[in-house]
Structure 1
Amino acid sequence: MVALSGGDVTLTDRRTQRSWAVEVASFALSVFPITQCRYAEVTGERPSAAQGMQLPVDSVSWTDAVRFCNALSHSSGLRPAYRLLDDEVEWDTTADGFRLPTEAEWEYACRAGSTGPRYGELGEIAWYRANSGERPHDVGGKLPNSWGLHDMLGNVWEWCWDLYDSEVYGSYRVLRGGGWFDEHWSCRASVRRRSHPSLRIDDTGFRVARSAAARPPG
């Protein structure tokens, strides 16, 4: 995990041509997407289409990612961030456990102070269709951004906590970052993708966050 100081970020949605500013509080984010090895250690499951211990876990739904966060919190002696109630998930913002980043946190961390579409030359920082051989690669194989975070673009799309647009798309959640099968235009810091929280597909994974100001258990 890397501890990140808070700041401001402006998000943009090309579909609606809307932009909005978000103030991001200090938080911590995992250096890499969750690997298949880590996922198996915590859950005992190996769901990925492409097998490799240091490959990012894929074929996991948003709900799978939420359950992983709670399981990792339990195994680490932390208070889980999520309450699962039938088909709904509630986020306990006072909990000190692991969680998915918000999309504002994700973009803020991805940009790492940069203002362009990417934090570096795409071929040097990301696995995407032009250089991936149309398959995922071990995490950490490309250059990190200036805050030490790897694979923020390319390799696998990453689930975020947020609803995409509840009025139009209901329960669909946000995905960020682009993946190994995507063209260059999808691997940009601002690109937003959406999908149903039950979707499992071979170019989608996640990384975990923790709130810096979360209260300890008890």
Structure 2
Amino acid sequence: MARTRSFDETALLDCAQEVFWAKGYDRASIEEISACSGVGNGSIYAAYTSKLGLFLATFTRYCAGRVELVESVVGSHTGTFEQAVAHYLDEIVADCTSRADLRGCLMLNSLAELGSRFPEVVAVGSRTIGEMERILSDRVADGVATGEVTLTSDDETEALGAHIVLVSQGLISLSRLGVPAARLRAIAATSSRLSAMRAA
């Protein structure tokens, strides 16, 4: 029987996410996460075995939250296809420019830092991007079903969904370079129009 944890796991993972996101995996330490959360080093190691184990739990939760964000933003939008894409990209811009330290996206940062060393990180990241693409492709397919979007094959439907996700990740990467929010919003608006034109 699994031992009941004597600490607030949500609070611990919140602290771990903040430290890993701000510092990166290599520069983060269990000691700093322990100090932030109030959970002892021994309890952390007992629960997660290693720093990597704690990171993977944190990373998996973060990525699940990103999928939930896309599902919420795209799935709840009742406007046109172009409006839905614009709403999604606007939310991405608002999210990635909300932090003064230009930290970008924990998923993208971690794939860049750890992808060549830890296949588990790549697996979680790939699954997350795939789920995002599915959500956007489903929105494209809805447009096809209603006659709003005209595409010639299922491959095009999936490709357009993947394209929109790619644009969103590019916007996040540009935000890390300090590109102003107004410029990012202009890029997002143009991408939304082009996506709608490609689908017409």
Normalising by structure 2, report the TM-score: 0.27
Q: Which has the higher contact order (CA 8 A, sep 6+)?
A: 1
- After TM superposition, the score normalised by the length of structure 1 is 0.25
Bigger radius of gyration among the two: 2
- Quick check: which one's strand share is greater? 1
